[in-house]
Chain A
Amino acid sequence: MNLLAKIKETVISVVPIMVIVLILHLTVSPLSTTLLIEFFIGGLLLIIGLSIFLLGADIGMLPVGQHVGSSLTKKKNLPVMLILGFVIGFVITVAEPDVQVLASQVATVDGTIPRTPLIMMIAIGVGLFVALGLARIVFQIKLRWILICSYLILFLIASLTSSEFVGIGFDAGGATTGPMTVPFIMALGLGVASVKKHENPEQSQDDSFGLVGIASVGPIMAVLVMGMIFGGGNGDATAAAQSAAADEYSILQHFLHIVPEVFVEVAKALAPLVVMLIIFQLTLLHMPKQQVKKTILGVVYTFIGLEIFLTGVNGGFMPAGQVMGAGIGDLGSGWALVPIGFLFGAVVVCAEPAVWVLTDQVEEVSGGHIRRPVMLATLAIGVAVAVALAMTRVVTGLSIWWYLIPGYAIALAMTFFCPPLFTAIAFDSGGVASGPMSSTFILSFTLGASMALGGNPVLDAFGVVAMIAMTPLIAIQALGLMYQRKQKKMEEAVKQQKSRRLAFGKKGGRV
């Protein structure tokens, strides 16, 4: 049963976080009993919600997204394809719950920035970059050049913006590509790539990924541009950060209180997507009935799963994260945060819904060549380093530039050596790794720590999501280089057997 297998997998990915929190609770940073119980109920909801969500993504979101992608391409009408790409990116971003959260965060830094225009800007940003990403596949432009140009422009704009905005802006890139948008945008790219004939077998998989990576640039640029235009005013950051701490309720009430909020959020996120899908089905897709049935079921599962998941995260993980961060920040000079952040980073990424979707698709597209456990381990190392680095910022208050510039410079330089497939996966996983888990649990942990150390949470704590979005670019590309080396060795070994192979002719020998 796939569902049982999914539950088993999610248990494996969520339990380590709970174990670490329990150990910290028993040793250095005790939580109140209520908080601990809430945390464990949250963990349970996380497991159930994640399993159901993944199932829904599997049978609904991903197939339909691919279908939209391939149907768009088969229309052979570039303007229509790009306009619809823009509309898709715009619609799913406006609806994404994370964007709403982000808009509130920005308001805390600078009260003068109007909320609605900001959300519109972000959505336009995603829309434009989705269209750009689709155009890239059609015109066969190397992902590398798109990324290098985008990030150069990005850093240029960033250098003109106040440093408060840099952290939040880069956080935005990761945060806006949430659990709803990622599977759909990813599937869209896969769909376009699947109908494309590949003359060169070496390139056959390169187009399948990279769309999420390109789309992640949009929101960063949008926030930075807004910051450049409106920047200057001051908001009350600590007040906003503190308001994240939940009101006092009994445990049951506590979760029940969250359910309707989350319900509205998820419903808001899903509704435009559903409307769009219905329009697509009637005009473009014309899917047969079994497929329609599966898609409907899939969307329903996605909805239920995300609802349960977010209830668990908001109700159990966020408050616990903040208290825990404060507790550990209070220890001595706060350097204990670095190793603990490392640990949290390693385990938290495995509980991100979109990470599972991505690793699954990578395994599928590579024909089982790039295994999920390998991808997960690499991402875990990457994110662990990211959170540890973010903690050094919390302790020292170093500018985020010291991290972002070398990080992106290395990541972009690596695109020249790394196999293109891995570059594409790497930039996708940047947006994927920074999902609801990192923007709730890790961010509140960091905020808690920063406040305990008496730093400026806006400057020091924000940026942790940006870091989580950055390190996978390096980690996955490093994995790609390792694969490349291994591949070369294998090819040499195969050469010796080649005489036997030749008998099959060039293409007949596959079976």
Chain B
Amino acid sequence: MNDGALTVFLPGKLLLTIVGRHQGERLVAAGKAVGAGGGTILLGRGTATNRILQALGVGDVSKDVLLTLLDDGQVDSVVKAQLSAAAEDPKHLRGVAALIDVSGILRRVSDEGRMETERDRRDGTMEPKWKLISIIVNHGYADEAMAAARKAGAEGGTILTGRGTGTEEDVKFFGISLVPEKEMLLILAPVEKAQGILDAVRSETSLKEPGSGIAYCIDVQQFHYLGK
């Protein structure tokens, strides 16, 4: 472990990109070409934006949610690379990208030289125009939350599935532990709509019970439509 290297927190950005299923790798490749380290792709489900399709229940689309951690210096080039990759193939790489400030990325750096932890956070003061709303609810309720959010002006959302770890002891059943299934709904919304959306979700009847879920908001520093 101690080979002349240090573990430090470096400020940086998290780039969240949502595109169609199987298209995530292409953005990773575009980012890598300009120096991004790589990324993590989660499988999500995009909710329908078209009202008729929504009513017919046929509008949901499979999505790739790509998370890329970037140093401040890489941000512009990687965002530009992903955007231009999308612009070249707008049919397949349609989606959204949101840039989120990260106060510390755990990094291992060598002693010599690369200790520039104090960086000039030039865009830190910028007033964010978009928010990323994350809502974690029990399995099956993300669509309820989305329906409520839509009434408050949300355009669309992406649903990820996961398992909760819970605060209580896991319930045992013949030697296997049971864990609750969760859904996480991500909605990108303009700042002025964000509060309304959160209120709408909170007052949705099926989500009023205590323990039905949690929600939080994150500032988005840059927001882009891909392939548009």
Query: Chain A residues in contact with chain B, CB under 8 A?
Result: 1-3, 5, 55, 59, 63, 67, 70, 73-74, 76, 78, 137-140, 194-197, 199, 287-291, 293-294, 297-298, 301, 364, 367-368, 499-500, 502-505, 508-511
Distance of A293 Cα from B144 Cα, bound (Å): 11
Q: In the complex the two chains form, is A140's CB within 8 Å of B40's CB?
A: no
Stretch at the interface among B51-59, B73-81, B190-198: B51-59
Q: In the complex the two chains form, is A287's CB within 8 Å of B170's CB?
A: no
Query: Chain B residues in contact with chain A, CB under 8 A?
Result: 1, 3, 5, 7, 14, 22, 40-43, 53, 56-62, 64, 67, 69, 106-108, 139-141, 143-144, 146-147, 163, 170-171, 173-181, 206
Q: In the complex the two chains form, is B180's CB within 8 Å of A195's CB?
A: yes
Classify the secondary structure of A's interface with B. Answer: helix
Q: Which residues of B contact A2 (CB under 8 A)?
A: 58-62
Q: Which residues of A contact B5 (CB under 8 A)?
A: 499, 503
Q: In the complex the two chains form, is A368's CB within 8 Å of B41's CB?
A: yes
The distance from the CB of B12 to the nearest CB of chain A, in whole angstroms, is 12
Q: In the complex the two chains form, is B108's CB within 8 Å of A500's CB?
A: yes
Q: In the complex the two chains form, is B67's CB within 8 Å of A196's CB?
A: no
Most buried by B among A55, A138, A197, A291: A197
Q: Name which residue of chain B comes closest to A58, CB basis.
A: B60
Q: In the complex the two chains form, is B139's CB within 8 Å of A70's CB?
A: yes
The distance from the CB of B45 to the nearest CB of chain A, in whole angstroms, is 10
Q: Which residues of A contact B42 (CB under 8 A)?
A: 367
With A1-B61, A502-B1 known as contacts, the answer to whether A196 contacts B174 (CB < 8 A) is: no
Distance of A363 Cα from B176 Cα, bound (Å): 25
Given contacts A3-B58, A140-B176, A503-B108, 5 further A-B contacts (CB under 8 A): A2-B62, A76-B171, A288-B143, A499-B108, A504-B106
Distance of A76 Cα from B173 Cα, bound (Å): 6
Q: In the complex the two chains form, is A510's CB within 8 Å of B178's CB?
A: no
Distance of A368 Cα from B56 Cα, bound (Å): 27
Total A-B contacts with CB atoms under 8 angstroms apart = 103
Distance of A508 Cα from B139 Cα, bound (Å): 24
Distance of A87 Cα from B178 Cα, bound (Å): 23
The distance from the CB of B75 to the nearest CB of chain A, in whole angstroms, is 17
Q: Name which residue of chain A comes closest to B176, CB basis.
A: A196
Q: In the complex the two chains form, is A196's CB within 8 Å of B179's CB?
A: yes
Q: Which residues of B contact A70 (CB under 8 A)?
A: 139, 181
The distance from the CB of A66 to the nearest CB of chain B, in whole angstroms, is 9
Q: In the complex the two chains form, is B163's CB within 8 Å of A194's CB?
A: yes
Distance of A138 Cα from B173 Cα, bound (Å): 8
Distance of A69 Cα from B42 Cα, bound (Å): 24
Partner of A1, one of B59, B106, B147: B59
Q: In the complex the two chains form, is A293's CB within 8 Å of B57's CB?
A: yes
Q: Which residues of A contact B206 (CB under 8 A)?
A: 288-289
Q: Name which residue of chain B comes closest to A137, CB basis.
A: B176
Partner of A367, one of B43, B53, B56, B181: B43
Q: Name which residue of chain B comes closest to A67, CB basis.
A: B140
With A139-B175, A195-B180 known as contacts, the answer to whether A290 contacts B58 (CB < 8 A) is: no
Q: Which residues of B contact A194 (CB under 8 A)?
A: 163, 181
The distance from the CB of A56 to the nearest CB of chain B, in whole angstroms, is 9
With A291-B143, A364-B43, A508-B106 known as contacts, the answer to whether A74 contacts B178 (CB < 8 A) is: yes
Q: Which residues of B contact A78 (CB under 8 A)?
A: 173-174
The distance from the CB of B204 to the nearest CB of chain A, in whole angstroms, is 9
Distance of A450 Cα from B163 Cα, bound (Å): 53
Q: Which residues of A contact B181 (CB under 8 A)?
A: 70, 194-195
Distance of A503 Cα from B170 Cα, bound (Å): 29
Q: Name which residue of chain B comes closest to A373, CB basis.
A: B22
With A70-B139, A73-B173, A508-B106 known as contacts, the answer to whether A196 contacts B57 (CB < 8 A) is: no
Q: In the complex the two chains form, is B40's CB within 8 Å of A290's CB?
A: no
Q: Which residues of B contact A73 (CB under 8 A)?
A: 173, 178
Q: Name which residue of chain A comes closest to B179, CB basis.
A: A197
The distance from the CB of B61 to the nearest CB of chain A, in whole angstroms, is 5
Distance of A293 Cα from B180 Cα, bound (Å): 23
Partner of B178, one of A197, A289, A291, A504: A197
Q: In the complex the two chains form, is B57's CB within 8 Å of A288's CB?
A: no
Q: In the complex the two chains form, is B67's CB within 8 Å of A55's CB?
A: no
The distance from the CB of B65 to the nearest CB of chain A, in whole angstroms, is 11
Q: Which 8 A-B pairs have CB atoms at the shortest separation, nearest pair first? A: A503-B108, A290-B143, A197-B177, A297-B57, A197-B179, A76-B173, A288-B206, A503-B7
Distance of A333 Cα from B174 Cα, bound (Å): 60
Q: In the complex the two chains form, is A59's CB within 8 Å of B43's CB?
A: no
Partner of A138, one of B53, B146, B176, B179: B176
